[in-house]
Amino acid sequence: MKNEDSLYKLLTFTAVVISLIAVVFVLRTLSNIFVPLILAIFFAYLSAPAVEFLARYRVPRIATLIILLGAISVIGIFIAQMLANNIREFIVFWPTMESKLISGIEAFFKNYFRIETKNILEILQSTRVTEVLSNFLNVSINAVGQLLLTLLILFFIYLTYKNYPRLIIKAFSAQRAQYIFEIVKNINVQIMKYTMIKTLMSAGTGILTGVACALFGIKFAVLWGFLAFLFNFIPYIGSLAAIILPIILSVLQFPGSYLPVFNAFSLIVIQITIGSYLDPEMMGNRFNLSPILILLSLFFWGYVWGLVGAFLAVPITAVIKIIAQNIEPLKPVAVLMSKKA
């Protein structure tokens, strides 16, 4: 009997591991489908307050959708044009600063560490850097197609989501339907709060970063502000990664000056205060998620869906925890995912 129980547990564990591997494989393979779908759901939560506000004034749903999608498209095109111009200017600007950067790094390692870095620093040659940035522009152009698919899915989500409660009531018993509604309501409230707070804090980080760069005369302030906004969605490491390039650029722009020190100090204070302390603390406390779990989920979803997965790691993990909290056999898993018992 004991051998049968052990065999059953082993088979169950093996089946779970194989299922998880299969799920990861499917998510990675079909990322072109899942990523627009997840982004559409994210935008749906983000724009839900505006939709509900217009609904109070009896604005027709079709008109609301047209206004919403039009606003997203106009803002997206405006931001894309500014970024493209900044990146093109940076590609032209980089060769003039390349020799200064290489010479400075070579002198630093040679004087302080007695290390020759000539071969290592060949990677910083302008041809390679500009190739990377040019490839980034090409990827951005390809992302337009993904954005259009995301907007199309978002359109149908808002067009049909009012039918879902009736379908659930039709498919399940009254008690089971009410149970499902409670879980969905819990998920909706927490994810909506997350998207609003996270977006506002990221926007604040981006604006402060851009303003700081502009005040200190750092070139491409719009680009650095947008990167700070974007990377702030990545927990812990994103906010700090966004300020590396503007700090390096400030050193190259103003050699021998104290201005880069003040610029670096201001950017680091902004990122540590908002991006690396206040933001993770608020998100972790709101969802009661373990910091280690947030970090692991960041690596996992980054592996599965790349940059988009890193952006959405926290809300996806929070949804999994909420579902586990409401399913009796999975409640211990939800407890282990928590920051506080």
The CA-atom distances, in angstroms, between 271 and each of 209, 245, 246, 261, 264 are 8, 14, 13, 15, 11
**By percentage, how much of the chain surpasses pLDDT 90?**
2
CA 39 centroid distance within chain: 10
Distance, CA of 117 to CA of 105 (rounded, Å): 8
Contact 6, 14 (CB under 8 A): no
pTM of the model: 0.71
pLDDT value for 127: 47
Enumerate residue ranges in the chain where pLDDT < 70. 1-5, 94-145, 275-277, 279-287, 341
Contact 158, 44 (CB under 8 A): yes
Token code pair at residue 40: 């559409």
Residue from 140, 130, 131 nearest 83 by CA: 140
The CA-atom distances, in angstroms, between 171 and each of 160, 186, 326 are 17, 21, 20
pLDDT value for 141: 55
pLDDT value for 275: 64
Contact 159, 61 (CB under 8 A): yes
pLDDT value for 286: 64
Distance, CA of 322 to CA of 324 (rounded, Å): 5
pLDDT value for 340: 73
Token code pair at residue 236: 């812990």
Contact 187, 319 (CB under 8 A): yes
